[in-house]
């Protein structure tokens, strides 16, 4: 990038076309995505060599409505894939931040979040939500009866949309975990 600025500084008589190309190049650089985890990488860390099974939760219309109410996420897909070993589940979930999707890995156990990581961040700003000091706020969070997280989560100045998205995904993962776990007071529908 520094080389590009040096070249532009040395050019005399910058044409309109050159200026447009420069702006397009810079806008594409700001849209670059940051990949922090792959599915294989996070799965190996979470399950630490234990055998995990890929499973599918088939969503019913009532579940989609509840997800909309609790997490403010419209689930358009018919199913959600997850990985499970014992009572530990790994959910790979995405939702739109301000303009682009953010992909998260959420590890749940006994209807609590054990770990939450940003896997792929595609927004231009707000990636501070991936830092361990921030993600630690989600550990041991549960879903209250009114569909909220059990404890307050601090915001980050300049990352408001990313923070909101992370909270929505946390609520959704806890709701999904509630649906698949036996003895949770509801009927497990569609988990295979």
Is the residue at 170 inside a domain? yes
If one counts the domains in the chain, the total is 1
Number of other CB atoms surrounding residue 127 within 10 Å:
18
Residues whose CB is less than 8 angstroms from the CB of residue 59 and which lie 6 or more positions away in sequence, other chains included: 67, 75, 77, 78, 79, 80, 190
Interatomic CA distance for residues 43 and 111, integer angstroms: 19
Predicted confidence at residue 1, as pLDDT, reads 53
What domain range is 59 assigned to?
A: 37-180
Which pTM was predicted?
Answer: 0.80
Is the residue at 88 inside a domain? yes
pLDDT, tens only, 153-191:
999 999 999 999 999 999 999 999 999 987 554 444 455
Is the residue at 192 inside a domain? no
Is the residue at 31 inside a domain? no
Sign of CA dihedral 128, 133, 136, 137: negative
Is the residue at 173 inside a domain? yes
Is the residue at 9 inside a domain? no
Residues whose CB is less than 8 angstroms from the CB of residue 55 and which lie 6 or more positions away in sequence, other chains included: 81, 82, 83, 84, 180, 191, 192
pLDDT, tens only, 48-64:
978 889 999 999 999 99
């Amino acid at each position: 990038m520094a080389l590009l600025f040096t070249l532009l500084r040395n050019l005399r008589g910058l044409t309109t076309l050159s200026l447009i190309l420069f702006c397009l190049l810079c806008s594409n650089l700001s849209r670059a995505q940051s990949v922090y985890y792959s599915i294989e990488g996070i799965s190996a860390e979470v399950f630490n060599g234990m055998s995990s099974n890929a499973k599918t939760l088939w969503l019913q219309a009532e579940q989609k409505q509840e997800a909309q109410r609790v997490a403010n996420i419209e689930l358009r897909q018919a199913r959600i894939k997850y990985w499970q070993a014992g009572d530990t589940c790994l959910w790979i979930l995405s939702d739109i931040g301000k303009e682009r999707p953010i992909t998260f890995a959420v590890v749940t156990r006994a209807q609590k979040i054990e770990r939450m990581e940003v896997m792929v961040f595609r927004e231009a700003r707000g990636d501070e939500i991936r830092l361990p000091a921030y993600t630690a706020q989600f550990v041991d969070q549960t879903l209250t009866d009114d569909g909220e997280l059990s404890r307050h989560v601090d915001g980050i100045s300049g990352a408001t949309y990313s923070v909101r998205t992370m909270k929505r995904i946390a609520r959704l993962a806890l709701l999904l975990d509630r649906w698949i776990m036996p003895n949770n007071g509801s009927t497990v529908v569609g988990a295979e």
